[in-house]
Amino acid sequence: MVSGTTRFLDSNIFIYVLSGDPAFSAKSLKILLEFEEGREEGWTSTLVLSQVFSYLKRRRKFEAVDKFYEYLNSSPISVTQTTREDLEAAKALKEKLRLNWDMWDDLVIASQMSRLGITEIHSADSDFDKISGIKRVF
């Protein structure tokens, strides 16, 4: 039984752990452990997973691809599909907040969060601070 808050996970949390980032891997691992221990309910999306797999592929970290895939199969983190409606909502959000398309993926994630009723995201990406209704936790 989850007793904590429901939060969305951005790709950088996974990437910091998988890459052993010297500045942020320990902090990101602690975030993932919150979900493993049931203190938080976690969600991510197929868009985020694609970002992680693409990052690992570009860096030729193929052993990490296998580790990440194994982690996902045993993880308590739920995954939502990226839908056409998410893309439409992201476009509307971009226009409403007068943001640029360079935030496309963040806007799609924000739209997914809204669809799921989630207002907090674990992310090091400060662009989320520009999106009203989202609280970034890192």
For residues 47 and 106, the answer to whether their CB atoms sit within 8 Å is no
Q: Which two tokens stand for residue 17?
A: 């752990």
Q: How confident is the model at residue 116 (pLDDT cuts 50, 70, 90)?
A: very high
On the question of pLDDT at 135 being above 80, the answer is: yes
Which pTM value belongs to this model? 0.91
Q: What is the DSSP string of 70-91?
A: HHHHH---EEEPP-HHHHHHHH
For residue range 59-104, what is the model confidence (pLDDT) as tens digits? 999 889 999 999 999 999 999 999 999 999 999 999 999 999 999 9
Q: What domains sit in the chain, N to C, each tagged with a CATH number?
A: 6-82+116-137 (3.40.50.1010)
pLDDT score at 40: 87
CA distance 110 to 37: 26
Mean pLDDT computed over 47-54:
97
Mean pLDDT computed over 126-137:
95
pLDDT score at 8: 98
Q: How confident is the model at residue 2 (pLDDT cuts 50, 70, 90)?
A: very low
pLDDT score at 46: 97
